Amino acid sequence: MEISAKDDGPLVISEAQVVTGATVAAADRLGLAAGDLASVIGVCEDTVLRMGRLEHLLRKGTPPFEKALLLIRLFRALDAVTHADATSAREWLRNTNLALGGIPAEKIATRDGLLDVLAYLDECLGRDRGAVAAP
């Protein structure tokens, strides 16, 4: 991990390091194997393994980076829905969901599926991104 201190000032950690680390951590907490994470964000399995050692960082503006951000959002939403119960989150991800018409872990392998699962979780949390909170 490349962390640097400038003139004994604060440590500088890049956005790429944060997103890469958060992606690997989210996948781990969700029980996603390296191959599963590779499918979700659109990279090869070897790249995911290097990400785990922070030898490969996701670059902002690339499809893998954008999909990684969606996966992190999915993790946070599912964590809220399951009240931070990792076992429940993993079970939810691997069981058929009638409302989604399939198994969420399989659906998130495509960008559209990832967006569908995320929208479903947002709905479960009562979020409506189009709505404006009352003053």
Closest CA to 64 of 46, 78, 44: 44
Tell me what pLDDT residue 10 has. Answer: 79
At residue 132 the predicted structure's pLDDT band, cuts being 50, 70 and 90, is very low
Q: Taking the domains of the chain in order of start, what are their residue ranges?
A: 4-124
pLDDT band of 95, cuts 50, 70, 90 = very high
pLDDT above 50: residue 106: yes
> 109-119: b or e for each residue (b if 16 or more CB lie within 10 Å)?
eeeebbebbbe
Average pLDDT over residues 53-79: 97
**Alpha-carbon gap, residue 75 to 69, rounded angstroms:** 10
Give me the half-sphere count of Cα atoms (radius 13 Å) on the Cβ side of residue 32.
Answer: 30
Please report, rounded to a whole number, the percentage of residues in the chain having pLDDT higher than 90.
83
pLDDT digits (tens, 9 = 90+) for 1-50: 445 545 667 777 899 999 999 999 999 999 999 999 999 999 999 999 99
Tell me the whole-structure pTM to 2 decimals.
0.84
Q: ∠ CA(1), CA(93), CA(86), 5° rounding? A: 60
Contact 79, 89 (CB under 8 A): yes
- For residues 45-68, give the mean pLDDT: 97
* Tokens representing residue 19 in the block: 């997103």
